[in-house]
């Protein structure tokens, strides 16, 4: 998700790096134009942008926005629903809201094949048995 967050041009100079193809060549200076892994500010910047984008949709999609703000860290979203239909609706709304902010959310996991099929996540690897009780049993 960090690489989906564009850095404004005036701040790009603060994420410089050197590169050369061979030790014989002088290094070239490059600036990153997206948030990077390892930068201390990347997670908090991403959270701020993600939440700011979501709040613009709060009136129309309150459940999805609540989930994005309260159950979402960077690109990890964890929530549960009473019905498969609720999961489909909220997940689709979450995807749409993120897309309006320039974020593409992929690799959904669920314990429901129906939800994964609906979201276009056809891989059998996406079905998960989640143990959130802390009793050590899977």
Percentage of the chain lying above the pLDDT 70 cut? 88
Residue-range domain boundaries for the chain? 2-31, 42-126
Give the C-alpha separation, 128 to 12, whole Å. Answer: 39
Residue 122's pLDDT is: 64
Q: Which residues of 112-128 are buried (b: 16+ CB within 10 A; e: fewer)?
A: eeebbebbebeeeebee
Whole-angstrom Cα distance, residue 113 to residue 104?
Answer: 21
Alpha-carbon distances of 67 from 7, 59, 62, rounded to whole Å: 26, 14, 8
Query: In this structure, what DSSP letter does residue 16 have?
Result: E
Predicted confidence (pLDDT) at residue 30 exceeds the cutoff of 60: yes
Give the predicted TM-score (pTM) of the model.
0.71
Does the pLDDT of residue 74 top 80, yes or no? no
For the stretch 83-134, pLDDT in tens is 999 999 999 999 999 999 888 888 888 888 899 899 887 665 555 566 667 6
């Amino acid at each position: 998700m960090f690489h989906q967050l564009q850095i404004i041009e005036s701040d790009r100079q603060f994420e410089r790096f050197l590169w050369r193809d061979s030790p014989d060549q002088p290094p070239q200076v490059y600036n990153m134009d997206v948030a990077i892994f390892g930068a201390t500010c990347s997670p908090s910047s991403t959270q701020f942008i993600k939440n700011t984008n979501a709040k613009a949709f709060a009136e129309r999609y309150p459940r999805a926005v609540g989930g994005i703000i309260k159950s979402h860290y960077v690109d990890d979203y964890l929530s549960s629903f009473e019905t498969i239909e609720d999961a489909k609706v909220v997940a689709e709304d979450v995807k749409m809201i993120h897309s309006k902010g320039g974020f593409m959310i992929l690799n959904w996991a669920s314990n429901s094949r129906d939800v994964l099929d609906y979201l276009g996540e056809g891989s059998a690897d996406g079905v998960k048995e989640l143990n959130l009780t802390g009793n050590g049993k899977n």
